[in-house]
Each structure stands twice: as C-alpha cells, then as structure tokens.
C-alpha cells in the first residue's frame, strides 16, 4: 500500500513540477476568488447554546422555555450601582424614561423598582412588623419633612435639627433618626468642602429599612428591537443603551456605575473578544512562524514559499467553510490559527528534504523524486490521520466542535494537496537559488539528544505512570462564563447579579399548564435544602393585604398632613445662621460619634454653602413624590399585576413558569451539581441556566471521551491497514497515549479544566502526535542499516513542525476570551509533551528494538 501511495504522489508532484509557474499562478488566482467568496459569505454565530445537538432533551426544554418567555434570552439588563439609594433610584428612573422614548430601539422596558405599580404599592410587599416599623420611622420624621417642604434650605434644615436635638420629642423625631441624619450629613458636608458632588440620601437617612450597604443596586430590563440583517441583531440597540448610560452618567457626576449585561450583551462582547483575540493571535503566530521558518531553512525564499502555501490553504479552507458550513461558532472561528500550525507541517517536511538534496548538488527533479520516496508516504498518512482526529467529533452531540472538526479536517487535507501541488510547481523559481550549506549545529543537538534519550524516556514514562493517579481529578467546566473575558462590562454586570438572591442568573425553571400544578410543584421544591426560594406569579400578590392597608391608612395620617404643606411658603433662616446654630448644639451635646464629626465638618466648610445646599436637596423633590405615591397603595390580585411582570411568569400560550433559586453560590461546580441533582429528583422536566450548564457539561465531557476513543481506534485501524504490522502501529501510538496522560495531569495541576473550547485537545493531540510518529517510524525503517533516524532531516522537520505548531497555538493564550486562551494553553502543553515523547521516547524505543534485534541475530549466528 505504501508503495502505491509513493508512486501516485511521485507522479502527481512531477506533473505539478512540469507545469511549473503557470500552475502556481493558476492556484494563486483561484485562491483570490476563493478569498472573495469566503469574505462575502462566511458568518459567525455567537449563540453557545446552539453548539449542542438541538435534539437533546435538555436542549428541547430550553427551546420550549425560550419560546414561551423570549425575554429571558432577548433582554439586555442594565445593572446600576450607586453609592446612595437616591442616586440609584433616580438614575434608574431617568434611564427607564429615556428608553421608553426609544420605541424604534426597544420593544419593552421593565425597571422593577421604578415601575409605577411597585412605587405605589411597594409597602404592601413588607411583612407586617417591617411595615409598622417603617411607618413609625417615617412618621417620626414628618415634622422635619413638613418644615423642609415649606422652606427647603440648609438654614432651615440645620436650625430644625438643632432644635430637635435639644428636645427630640418636640417633633417626635427619635435619637436614632438624628444619628442617621448626622452621619449622612457629615459625608455630604465633607464632600462639599472639597468641592465634590455628593448628594444627600434622604431615603437612606430617614428609613433604616432602605440601608443596604456601601452601594445600592437597581436593574433595568430592556428588550431590544432585533435587526436580523446584522451579524449581531441586538448591536444597534446595545450601542444606543451604551450612549444613554454614558450621557446619564455625566449628569450624575460619574458617581453611578452601569454594567450592560444579559445574553445579547454577553454574546456581543464575547464576539468582540474572540475576533480581537483571533486577529492578534493570527498576527503574532504569523510573525513567530516566519522567524522559525527562517531558522529552519536559513533561506528567505523557502520560508516565503511555505508562507504563501499557508495563505493559500487558509483561503481555500475559509471558502470551504463558507460553502459547506455557512457560519462559524465561537470555537470553530479558531480554525485559522490552528491551521497556521498544522498547515505548515507538510511544507516543512517536504521542502526541508528537498533543500537537503539541493544542498547535496541535486537538481529540482531529482530532489523532488528522492523527497517523495523518503517522506511522501508519511505525508500521505499524516494528512488523513490528523483529519480523522478533527472529524472524530462529528458523530458526537457536540455540534459546535464538530463544526470545527469538519472545517479543520478539510483544511488539513487542503494543506496536504496545496503542499504536494503548489510547492513542486513553484520549484521552478528556485533554479538560481544558492544551495544551503549545513552547519552541523542541529545535527550536534540531535546527537546530544540521542545520548540522553534512554534516561529521559524512562523519566517521562515514570511521570506518565504517576500522572495516571491524577486522572480521576480531570474535570469539565461547562460554565459559559468561564470562557468569557472577566474584565468585560457584560461579565462584570453578570457577576453582580449573584450578589442579590433574587437576581441570581444560574437558576432552574420548569413549566406547567395550570396555576394549581405550579403551586403544588413549588410547595414540594421549597422543602429542598439546596433551594433558597421558589418564584411564580402568585408570589407577587402580597399576603395580609387588608391588615397592611389598614396600617398604611392609620400610620399615614401625620405624614400625609406634612406632605400637604405648601412648598416654599416660609423663608427660614439663612445658611450661616443655621450652620452656627447647629454647631453650637452639637458641640454642647457630642464629644464623639456622628454628631461630633458633623460639627467638625461644618467648621471646615470654607464658604461652600451653595454647593452644600445643592447636594443636600438634590433628590428632595424625588423623596416627596415617592412618599406621596406610596400612600396610595391599593388591593392587588394577579390580574392587576403589571403586564411586564406577568409576561415573565405566564406566557401568552398559558404556560406557568416556576423559578427555582439556589441557596448556595452555584458558580462553584460542586454546589451547582448538588442543586440540580436535588431539584431534578423532584422535577425531572427542568430547564434554566443552571440545568443547561450541568447537562451541557455532561454532554461535552462525554463527547470528548467519545471523540478521543474514535480518533484513537480509527487511526489505529487506518495505520494497521497501511503498514500491516502491529509492532509498528504500537510504536506510532504509544507516545500519543503517554502525551495524552501527561497533558491531562498537567491540566489538573495548573487548574486548567476542559471546557467548550479546549475540549478538542486530546483528539487533536492524537492526530498531530501520530504524524510525528509516522514520520519517525517510517524514516527509521528506511535508514536502519545506516546511521539512524537522528542522522536524517526528519527529526529536524518534526522539531520545527512542532515549534511552529506551538507558536501558532500558543498565541491563542493572549486572547481576552478565556475559552480561546485555555485552548492555546492546553494545546501548547499537549504539543510540548508530544515533542518530548516522539523525539526522545520514540527514538529510545528504536534503540531498544535495535539492540534486541542484534541480540537475536547474534544468538542465531552462534
């Protein structure tokens, strides 16, 4: 079989050589047309859920959930973080108003805390004890509120505070409320003295129930109008959202941070990260491989010929992808960088041997004929074996990596055909090229390697044995967020959603046909220890409404009276007088605490009274409006809930959605597994982000094992059919198994789990590694009677092929997309181990085999 392959290749290459420059030019012209076709037809799909077989049960349930509640996938979420509650509320209110005006960009806007329904009925969602405490606290402040409505100045505020501090009961203001006011005012006065914008938080100071922490968060959900004529349908709307938040941020003095997240934003920024990373990796890999080719050939012309062949391969492969696949995903987009490493291997082996013969004084025809004899069969075997490794994912349920397998597998075959066609045709240009003189440096390196190959091989095998004990710790990380750039705005916003139990994005969902079924299911799920809460539409109807409405009516009396005061009806004392009055009272009453701090801050105000007044009353109108609004609470039932909320829990088709929230942080894969396992035992028909992540992990890890097994088995059979010798096949495959074990163990030690992107490493390691083994084994059989395989150009070709592959794969590590970067990391590790195993362990096996053969011959001669 190998002889047939050799003769066929020799005839093909000789025909190409005879056609010469004409054929080379035709190939270049064809590549230009192919490049234009690829540029105008090849697209990118950033939906990671589409990377798995849509017929899988959990994929079908996910599709059913998206169809019933499309906003879960389509909504863009703006996470608003502000240092005060008033700023967070005001910013969210302003943003909601602006987005509602952009009907051409957003089909719906939902800001829970800013919706008129919740602003009016928010008090009903407190339990009775909390509601009573809230109303009591606000009633105590009613005297101050009335006074400031009539005269909203710092002179009035400070004078009133001084009077009420002397006799708190005079206005029914408690000491606790005053302490809160003093602490908040001290910060505002200090900022004003430094000419800083720092609004006073009235809700935070007057209402203890509203104080959350250092920052306050509000969410705005916007459903973008999707433009399907664009690569990213939501991009235009997201750009509008970015512009609106930026403009609003300037109005708020840069004190409010916004993070745009949600599936459309995550996909958009992920695409930007991947394409940017691939572009940088491509540029860097081309630079590195160019330098390595110059070092390999020590000939600019030979290096240029190899690079031209590589570009032709990439263009033809892109055209193939456009014609037969249509669109790339976030994994298959890396085929360009992969082919930079893999597409060079054929050219390096072919041209390095041709160069060796030309240096010995032979002409192109003789050099080509001898080279095909020496490496032609190995090249012919290497192409299909690498393609098989890529194609091994096609039978699996992982459609995303199967797509990469089809494209890269075809690219490897294209690279082989380009090498044995374009390179011989272009040899006509090398007639006048000077012949390279060997320096002996590389040969001396391999001579040194041959002397230590035995001990190094033993150490490597021993490490492989110990690495087996780490195999149970190898894991697959199905968290899509683990692939994305952690510094991107969308990922930062996504992580902020975990800080509130009610907004955790990794949750479970289930659909039922009736309200009764949903409530019965929720009752069972709530009993589980790993479940924090269950949410369905009836949960948004408050309990004990009659009692709460009575409390509001009873407690609102004094506050409503205060709110009815005529705005600006009293002049009040001037600022200087008010400041002095309050300072005197504070100095007399406090030697420490917030009162003393406020007194010291007022003493250092330095004439910034105007700025102080602007800061103190910046959100005073919003407070009064909110206080008036929430006194209008009314009875609520499911039918009176806002439409934007109802649509998130009850679909148009009558499907009831049940949201199941985790108790623990499910970003930890162990907590995620436990959460999903517990709920699935009660409700088998699950969907949602948490379920999708776990089932995707199971599917993809199974696909990796299946593909690795397929690649190993098919390549083994393929090699045996060609060489018909079990011992030779074992020699070719043993280094691969050893390199695979070492790579997996290193991933465990360096905490590089397998994921959506780098899952291709093990099958690809088999495909790439077997190529080096094929070259060395077949070349060793040709020179057994001579000086050994280290005396030929084959180890040099294997060495530089591996270096160029590492250079191209390694450049992926610089990508801001962590999935792409991890692919580069593991592939580089895998190729490094493959290089050691093939260039050191395999030749050591040759020497051992040769010594055993010599002993048998010696015994036979005796």
In 3D space, the residue among 689, 659, 643 whose CA is nearest the CA of residue 109 turns out to be 643
Instruction: Flag the least confident range among 363-367, 424-428, 847-851.
Output: 847-851
* Confidence tier at 681 by pLDDT (50, 70, 90): very high
* 8-state DSSP, 221: E
Instruction: Evaluate whether 78 touches 220 at the Cβ level (below 8 Å).
Output: yes
How far is Cα 794 from Cα 65, in angstroms, rounded to an integer?
57
pLDDT in tens, 50-63: 678 888 888 899 88
pLDDT of residue 789 exceeding 70, the answer is no
* Confidence tier at 443 by pLDDT (50, 70, 90): low
Q: Give the mean pLDDT of 347-371.
A: 84
Q: Which residues is 394 bridged to in the sheet?
A: none
Pairing, β 327-328 against β 257-261: unpaired
Q: Which residues is 221 bridged to in the sheet?
A: 77, 110
Q: What is the three-class DSSP state of 220? A: strand
User: 262: left (phi > 0), else alpha (psi -120 to 50), else beta?
Assistant: left
In 3D space, the residue among 220, 219, 221, 222 whose CA is nearest the CA of residue 104 turns out to be 222
How far is Cα 450 from Cα 694, in angstroms, rounded to an integer?
48
How far is Cα 396 from Cα 390, in angstroms, rounded to an integer?
12
If you average pLDDT over every residue of the chain, what do you get?
A: 83
Q: Give the mean pLDDT of 746-764.
A: 82
pLDDT value at residue 848? 66
How far is Cα 456 from Cα 444, in angstroms, rounded to an integer?
18
> Which percentage of the chain shows pLDDT scores above 70?
89
* Confidence tier at 526 by pLDDT (50, 70, 90): very high
pLDDT of residue 850 exceeding 80, the answer is no
In 3D space, the residue among 605, 610, 620, 611 whose CA is nearest the CA of residue 574 turns out to be 610
In 3D space, the residue among 438, 334, 389, 359 whose CA is nearest the CA of residue 813 turns out to be 334
How far is Cα 546 from Cα 534, in angstroms, rounded to an integer?
24
pLDDT of residue 4 exceeding 60, the answer is yes
pLDDT of residue 435 exceeding 60, the answer is no
Instruction: Flag the least confident range among 41-45, 235-239, 688-692, 720-724.
Output: 720-724
pLDDT in tens, 244-272: 999 999 889 889 999 999 988 988 888 77
pLDDT value at residue 206? 60
* Confidence tier at 483 by pLDDT (50, 70, 90): confident
Burial status of residue 522 (CB atoms within 10 A of its CB: 0-12, 13-18, 19 or more): buried
Instruction: Flag the least confident range among 205-214, 579-588, 717-726, 753-762.
Output: 205-214
* Residue 500: how many other CB atoms lie within 10 Å: 12
Task: Please report how many Cα atoms fall inside a 13 Å half-sphere around the Cα of residue 181, on the Cβ side.
Answer: 23
- DSSP code string of 472-536: GG--B---GGGGS-TTSHHHHHHHHGGGSGGG-SS-EEEEESSHHHHHHHHHHHTT-TTEEEEE-
Instruction: Evaluate whether 611 touches 605 at the Cβ level (below 8 Å).
Output: no
Instruction: Evaluate whether 42 touches 456 at the Cβ level (below 8 Å).
Output: no
pLDDT of residue 171 exceeding 50, the answer is no
How far is Cα 197 from Cα 205, in angstroms, rounded to an integer?
18
pLDDT value at residue 48? 62
Burial 818-845 (b: 16+ CB within 10 A, else e): bbbbbbbbbbbbbbbbbbbbbbbbbbbb
* 8-state DSSP, 397: S
* Confidence tier at 450 by pLDDT (50, 70, 90): low
Alpha helices in 536-619 (DSSP H): 545-555, 557-563, 575-589, 593-603, 609-616
How far is Cα 398 from Cα 69, in angstroms, rounded to an integer?
25
pLDDT value at residue 230? 66
How far is Cα 649 from Cα 465, in angstroms, rounded to an integer?
54
Q: Supply φ then ψ for residue 660, to 5 degrees.
A: -115, 115
pLDDT value at residue 699? 85
Instruction: Flag the least confident range among 48-62, 148-162, 496-510.
Output: 48-62
pLDDT value at residue 98? 94
Q: Give the mean pLDDT of 621-628.
A: 88
Instruction: Evaluate whether 504 touches 679 at the Cβ level (below 8 Å).
Output: no
Instruction: Compute the residue count for the chain.
Output: 862
Give a three-class secondary structure readout of 622-682.
HHHHHHHHHCCCCCCCHHHCCHHHHCCCECCCCCEEEEEEECCCCCCHHHHHHHHHHHHHH
* Confidence tier at 95 by pLDDT (50, 70, 90): very high
Burial status of residue 815 (CB atoms within 10 A of its CB: 0-12, 13-18, 19 or more): buried
Tell me how far apart the terminal alpha carbons of the chain are, to the nearest angstrom.
Answer: 37
Instruction: Flag the least confident range among 121-125, 291-295, 378-382, 456-460.
Output: 456-460
How far is Cα 738 from Cα 682, in angstroms, rounded to an integer?
44
Q: Give the mean pLDDT of 502-526.
A: 92
Q: Tell which wins on pLDDT, 345 or 529.
A: 529
User: 607: left (phi > 0), else alpha (psi -120 to 50), else beta?
Assistant: left
Pairing, β 106-110 against β 216-224: antiparallel
pLDDT value at residue 760? 77
* Confidence tier at 785 by pLDDT (50, 70, 90): very low
* Confidence tier at 408 by pLDDT (50, 70, 90): confident
How far is Cα 462 from Cα 454, in angstroms, rounded to an integer?
12
pLDDT in tens, 682-735: 998 899 888 888 888 888 888 888 888 888 888 888 778 766 778 777 777 788
Q: Supply φ then ψ for residue 225, to 5 degrees.
A: -75, 120
Instruction: Flag the least confident range among 94-108, 523-537, 819-833, 847-861.
Output: 847-861
Q: Which residues is 54 bridged to in the sheet?
A: none
Long-range contacts of 786-792 (CB under 8 A, 24+ apart): 788/450, 788/843, 788/846, 789/843, 789/846, 790/443, 790/446, 790/447, 790/449, 790/450, 790/843, 791/443, 792/374
Q: What is the three-class DSSP state of 232? A: coil
Q: Which residues is 76 bridged to in the sheet?
A: 222
Instruction: Evaluate whether 405 touches 390 at the Cβ level (below 8 Å).
Output: yes
pLDDT value at residue 373? 84
- Inter-CA distances, 646 with 71, 77, 220, 538, 539, Å: 12, 18, 16, 10, 11
Q: What is the three-class DSSP state of 363? A: coil
Q: Supply φ then ψ for residue 213, to 5 degrees.
A: 165, -150
In 3D space, the residue among 674, 846, 673, 711 whose CA is nearest the CA of residue 773 turns out to be 846
DSSP E strands, 692-764: none
Q: What is the three-class DSSP state of 767? A: helix
Instruction: Evaluate whether 383 touches 416 at the Cβ level (below 8 Å).
Output: yes
How far is Cα 768 from Cα 317, in angstroms, rounded to an integer?
18
pLDDT of residue 76 exceeding 90, the answer is yes
pLDDT of residue 208 exceeding 60, the answer is no
In 3D space, the residue among 147, 669, 714 whose CA is nearest the CA of residue 393 turns out to be 714
- Of 319-323, 371-375, 668-672, the range with the highest mean pLDDT is 319-323
pLDDT in tens, 262-298: 988 988 888 777 777 777 877 888 888 888 888 888 8
pLDDT value at residue 169? 42
Instruction: Evaluate whether 270 touches 46 at the Cβ level (below 8 Å).
Output: yes
pLDDT value at residue 109? 93
Q: Tell which wins on pLDDT, 853 or 24.
A: 24
């Amino acid at each position: 079989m190998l002889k047939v392959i050799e003769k066929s290749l020799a005839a093909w290459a000789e025909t190409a050589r005879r056609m010469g420059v004409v054929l080379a030019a035709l190939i270049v012209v064809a590549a230009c047309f192919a490049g234009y076709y690829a540029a105008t037809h090849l697209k990118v799909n950033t939906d990671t859920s589409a990377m798995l077989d849509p017929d899988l049960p959990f994929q079908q349930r996910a599709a059913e959930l998206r169809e019933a509640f499309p906003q879960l996938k389509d909504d863009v979420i703006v996470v608003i973080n502000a240092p005060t509650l008033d700023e967070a509320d005001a910013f969210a209110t302003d943003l909601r108003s602006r987005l509602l005006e952009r009907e051409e960009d957003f089909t719906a806007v939902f800001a829970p805390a800013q919706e008129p329904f919740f602003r009016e009925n928010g008090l009903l969602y407190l339990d009775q004890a909390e509601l009573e405490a809230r109303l009591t606290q606000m009633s105590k402040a009613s005297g101050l509120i009335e006074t400031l409505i009539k005269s909203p100045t710092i002179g009035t505020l400070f004078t009133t505070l001084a009077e009420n501090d002397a006799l708190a009961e005079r206005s029914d203001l408690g000491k606790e409320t005053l302490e809160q006011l003093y602490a908040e005012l001290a910060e505002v006065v200090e900022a004003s003295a430094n000419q800083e914008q720092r609004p006073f938080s009235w809700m935070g100071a007057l209402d203890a129930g509203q104080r959350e922490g250092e920052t306050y968060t509000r969410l705005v959900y916007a459903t973008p109008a999707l433009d399907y004529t664009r690569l990213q349908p939501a991009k235009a709307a997201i750009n509008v959202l970015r512009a609106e938040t930026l403009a609003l941020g300037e109005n708020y003095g840069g004190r409010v941070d916004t993070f745009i997240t949600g599936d459309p934003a995550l996909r958009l920024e992920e695409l930007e990260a991947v394409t940017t990373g691939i572009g940088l990796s491509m540029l860097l890999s081309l630079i590195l491989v160019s330098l390595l080719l110059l070092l390999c050939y020590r000939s600019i012309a030979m290096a240029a010929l190899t690079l031209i062949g590589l570009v032709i391969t990439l263009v033809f492969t892109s055209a193939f992808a456009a014609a037969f696949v249509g669109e790339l995903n976030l994994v298959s987009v890396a085929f360009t960088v992969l082919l930079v490493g893999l597409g060079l291997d054929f050219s390096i082996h072919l041209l390095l041997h041709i160069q060796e013969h030309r240096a010995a004084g032979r002409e192109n025809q003789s050099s080509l004929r001898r080279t095909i004899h020496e490496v032609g069969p190995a090249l012919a075997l290497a192409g299909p074996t690498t393609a098989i490794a890529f194609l091994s994912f096609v039978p699996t349920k992982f459609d995303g990596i199967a797509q990469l397998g089809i494209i890269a597998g075809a690219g490897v075959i294209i690279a082989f055909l380009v090498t044995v066609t374009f390179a011989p045709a272009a040899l006509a240009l090398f007639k006048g090229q000077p012949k390279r003189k060997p320096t002996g440096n590389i040969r001396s390196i391999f001579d040194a390697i041959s002397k230590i190959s035995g001990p190094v091989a033993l150490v490597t095998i021993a490490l492989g044995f110990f690495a087996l004990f780490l195999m149970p710790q190898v894991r697959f990380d199905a968290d899509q967020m683990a692939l994305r750039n952690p510094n991107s705005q969308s990922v930062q916003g996504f992580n902020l959603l975990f800080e509130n139990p009610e907004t955790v994005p990794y949750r479970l969902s289930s659909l039922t046909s009736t309200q009764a079924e949903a409530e019965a299911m929720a009752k069972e799920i709530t009993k589980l220890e790993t479940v924090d809460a269950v949410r369905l539409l009836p949960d948004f109807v408050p309990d004990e409404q009659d009692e709460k409405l009575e409390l509001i009516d009873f407690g609102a009396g004094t506050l409503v009276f205060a709110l009815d005061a005529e705005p600006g009806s009293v002049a009040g004392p001037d600022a200087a007088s008010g400041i002095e009055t309050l300072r005197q009272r504070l100095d007399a009453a406090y030697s420490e605490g917030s009162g003393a701090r406020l007194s010291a801050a007022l003493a250092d105000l330095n004439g910034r009274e105007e700025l102080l007044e602007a800061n103190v009353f910046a959100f005073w109108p919003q407070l009064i409006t909110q206080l008036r609004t929430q006194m209008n609470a009314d009875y609520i039932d499911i039918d009176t809930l806002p439409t934007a909320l109802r649509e998130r829990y009850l679909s148009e088709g009558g499907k009831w959605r049940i949201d199941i929230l985790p108790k623990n942080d499910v970003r930890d894969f162990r907590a995620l597994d436990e959460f999903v396992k517990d709920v699935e035992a009660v409700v088998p028909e699950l969907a949602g982000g948490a379920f999708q992540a776990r089932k995707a992990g199971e599917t993809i890890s199974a696909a990796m094992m299946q593909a690795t097994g397929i690649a190993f088995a098919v390549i083994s059979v393929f090699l045996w059919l060609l060489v018909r010798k079990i011992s030779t096949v074992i020699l070719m495959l043993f280094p691969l198994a050893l390199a695979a074990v070492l790579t997996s163990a290193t991933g465990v030690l360096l905490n590089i789990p397998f994921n959506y992107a780098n899952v291709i490493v093990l099958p690809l390691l088999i495909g790439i590694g077997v190529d080096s083994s094929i070259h060395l084994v077949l070349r060793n059989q040709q020179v057994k009677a001579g000086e050994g395989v280290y005396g030929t150009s084959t180890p040099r070709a294997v060495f530089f092929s591996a270096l160029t592959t590492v250079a191209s794969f390694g450049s992926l590590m610089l990508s801001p997309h962590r999935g792409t970067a991890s692919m580069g990391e593991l592939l580089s590790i895998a190729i490094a181990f493959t290089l050691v195993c093939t260039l050191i362990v395999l030749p050591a096996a040759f020497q051992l085999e040769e010594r055993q053969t010599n002993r048998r011959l010696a015994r036979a001669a005796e």
